[in-house]
Amino acid sequence: MEKIIKSDQVWRKLLNPEQYRVARKKGTEPPFTGAYWNTKAAGVYKCACCGLPLFDSEHKFDSGTGWPSFWQAIDEKNVHTQRDESDDKIRTEVLCTRCAAHLGHLFNDGPAPTALRYCMNSAALKLVEIEAGAE
């Protein structure tokens, strides 16, 4: 996959302040505040920075955490994970493979069949809704 690399200055121009803070500076939005934490619309969640398809609404579930949560990615190649030791915690950070945007964190407390919970920030995602009846 071809990587997208842009300067910090370019990302600041392309993204709104919250998207920039979360996706480029590894921020976290407060729980129950993001645009998609409670969204039930059908569609594909893409990276807010580069548009790479990341998650399908069919894999979204209510984790009760206040962040949009998914039990699997559209394609494992589209997300990259790495160890995150920030905030005095050890977690697994999830990033967009193409542009390295910080998306959120991965936990092993999700539902079957994967037992995974991709706990994402709404600010790092863009939902492209599928119209009812469309395939």
On whether residue 1 sits in a domain, the answer given is no
Query: 135 in a domain, yes or no?
Result: no
Q: Is residue 27 part of a domain?
A: yes
Domain membership of residue 59 as a residue range? 8-129
Catalytic residue (one of 47, 49, 99, 119): 119
Instruction: Look at residue 10 in the predicted model and tell me its pLDDT.
Output: 98
Supply the pLDDT for residue 122. Answer: 98
Which CATH number is 125's domain given? 2.170.150.20
Structural domains counted in the chain: 1
For tokens 């995974």, the residue is: 116
SS (H, E, C) 81-125: EEEECHHHCCEEEEEECCCCCEEEEEECCCCCCCCCEEEECHHHE
Residue-by-residue pLDDT tens, the chain, 135 positions: 899 999 999 999 999 999 999 999 999 999 999 999 999 999 999 999 999 999 999 999 999 999 999 999 999 999 999 999 988 889 999 999 999 999 999 999 999 999 999 999 999 999 999 876 555
Residue 134 lies in a domain: no
Torsion on CA atoms 32, 129, 96, 31, rounded to nearest 10: 0
Q: What tens digit of pLDDT does each residue of 83-95 get?
A: 999 888 899 999 9
Q: Is residue 82 part of a domain?
A: yes
Q: Residue 122 corresponds to which amino acid?
A: S
- Clarify whether 119 is annotated catalytic: yes
